[in-house]
């Protein structure tokens, strides 16, 4: 089992570093804006946020081939969707239930998808993306595309039956899929330590005869990126699946209906000291990888893009009644 907690150097270009920083900022700004819109009654339905988990998402997605590799997401999928480069205007419209949304306003927050961009969809079913991921991975293997699939899920999904079934099948068939557990320490209000009798879920990989990797500091963007670069290369070379787990923390409750009273303020504040965005900004400045002016320009561009997405969504039309009978498939 491989383990990493990195204070790592990088050979990435300045443009790549600033792009990754921008993605983290987009996730943070977008989700904070949606949270405020929910409280104003502008956004309907259940919404889950990736605030605090930005590095765990962006570091992984930055290591794959965007536009050809595929991902499956989960109910907390905003971060993965944005990291993959989804159109923020269309995503905001989808969350508001507008006709211009990525799924024509029919899916909402938990069902964001962007098939053209390689996002096979978020999922309201815990572990629901796992079966989709191995199906997509089998397709890549049979068609010899050279593409891989990254299956995102939370720590709570690791006790679902589909976790065992899909890892076992992927192992037997040597499918090109990375099973990626973003462990934010809680399954809704239940601490992960209450529901497993091992320290971390990545150790379960041995049961399926596949490698297990552990990213101890999932708030370290480059630690996540460098580990995923290694894993992506291994899987793309035809060696079969991998299980990887990173440790991070969500600042907000499980969803907009959760005040998070099962956690202490002190615990949340302690994790905020490890904030992935401020840490990466400091890293770039301390190592002369970007200037303060360049970072501020990225911050401004992200804020403007999120504000523009709200304007776009608010001015977009509602779905027509007739559209309820479209995109329905039957055998």
Burial class of residue 296 (count of CB atoms within 10 Å of its CB; 0-12, 13-18, 19+): exposed
Question: Residue 11: its pLDDT value, please?
Answer: 81
CA–CA dist 73, 96 (Å, integer): 19
2 phi/psi in degrees, rounded to 5? -95, 145
Q: Is the pLDDT of residue 329 over 70?
A: yes
CB within 8 Å of 174: residues ≥ 6 apart? 141, 238, 239, 240, 241
In the numeric block, which tokens belong to residue 239? 């060696």
Question: How many C-beta atoms surround the C-beta of residue 134 within 10 A?
Answer: 26
Q: With respect to CATH, is domain 2-211+221-316 assigned 3.40.50.2000? A: no
CA–CA dist 97, 244 (Å, integer): 34
As beta bridge partners, residue 191 has 186
Q: Which residues of 87-114 are buried (b: 16+ CB within 10 A; e: fewer)?
A: bbbbbbbbbbbbebbbbbbbbbbbbbbb
Chain centroid, CA 283 distance in Å: 22
| DSSP character string of 145-208 | ----EEEEEEGGGGGSHHHHHHHHHHHHHT-SEEEEEEE-SEETTEEGGGT-SSS-GGGGGGGG
In the numeric block, which tokens belong to residue 202? 């990545």
Domain ranges within the chain, ordered by starting residue: 2-211+221-316
Q: Is the pLDDT of residue 1 over 60?
A: no
CB within 8 Å of 295: residues ≥ 6 apart? 18, 21, 281, 284, 285
Tens of pLDDT, residue by residue over 210-258, are 999 999 999 999 999 999 999 999 999 999 999 999 999 999 999 998 8
Tens of pLDDT, residue by residue over 248-265, are 999 999 999 888 999 999
DSSP state, residue 76:
T
Mean pLDDT, all residues of the chain: 94
SS3 at position 66? coil
Question: Residue 87: its pLDDT value, please?
Answer: 97
123 phi/psi in degrees, rounded to 5? -150, 130
Cα dihedral sign, 313-303-103-251: negative
Tens of pLDDT, residue by residue over 183-206, are 999 999 999 999 999 989 999 999
Tens of pLDDT, residue by residue over 20-38, are 999 999 999 999 999 999 9
CA angle, 183 then 189 then 192, to 5°: 40
Q: Is the pLDDT of residue 4 over 50?
A: no
DSSP state, residue 50:
-
| Helix, strand, coil percentages for the chain (3-state, nearest 5) | 50, 10, 40
CA–CA dist 57, 306 (Å, integer): 19
Asked if residues 84 and 66 have their Cβ atoms less than 8 Å apart, the reply is yes
Pairing of strands 186-187, 190-191: antiparallel
In the numeric block, which tokens belong to residue 231? 């894993």
């Amino acid at each position: 089992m491989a383990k990493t907690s990195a204070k790592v150097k990088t050979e990435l270009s300045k443009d790549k570093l600033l792009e990754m920083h921008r993605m983290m900022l987009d996730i943070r700004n977008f989700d904070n804006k949606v949270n405020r819109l929910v409280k104003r009654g502008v956004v309907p339905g259940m919404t889950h946020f990736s605030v605090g988990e930005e590095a765990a998402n962006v570091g992984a997605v930055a290591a794959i081939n965007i536009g050809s590799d595929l991902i499956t997401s989960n109910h907390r999928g905003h971060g993965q969707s944005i990291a993959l480069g989804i159109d923020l205007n269309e995503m905001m419209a989808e969350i508001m239930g507008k006709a211009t949304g990525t799924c024509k306003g029919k899916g909402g927050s938990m069902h964001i998808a962007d098939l053209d961009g390689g996002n096979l969809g978020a999922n309201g079913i815990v572990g629901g993306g796992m079966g989709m991921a191995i199906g997509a991975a089998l397709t890549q293997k049979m068609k010899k595309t050279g593409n891989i699939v990254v299956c995102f899920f939370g720590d709570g999904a690791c006790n679902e039956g589909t976790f065992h079934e899909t890892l076992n099948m992927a192992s037997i068939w040597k499918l090109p899929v990375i099973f990626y557990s973003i462990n934010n320490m809680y399954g809704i209000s239940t601490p992960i330590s209450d529901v497993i009798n091992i320290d971390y879920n990545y150790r379960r990989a041995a049961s399926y005869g596949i490698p297990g990797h552990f990213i101890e500091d999932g708030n370290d963007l480059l630690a996540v990126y460098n580990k995923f670069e290694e894993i992506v290369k291994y899987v793309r070379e035809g060696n079969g699946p991998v299980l990887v787990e990173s440790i991070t923390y969500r600042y907000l409750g499980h969803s907009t209906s959760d005040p998070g009273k099962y956690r202490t303020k002190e615990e949340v504040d302690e994790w905020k000291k490890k904030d992935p965005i401020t840490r990466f900004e400091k890293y770039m400045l301390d190592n002369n990888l970007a200037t303060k002016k360049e970072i501020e320009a990225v911050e401004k561009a992200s804020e403007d893009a999120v504000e523009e997405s709200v304007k776009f969504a608010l001015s977009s039309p509602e779905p027509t009644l007739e559209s309820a009978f479209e995109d329905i498939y039957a055998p």
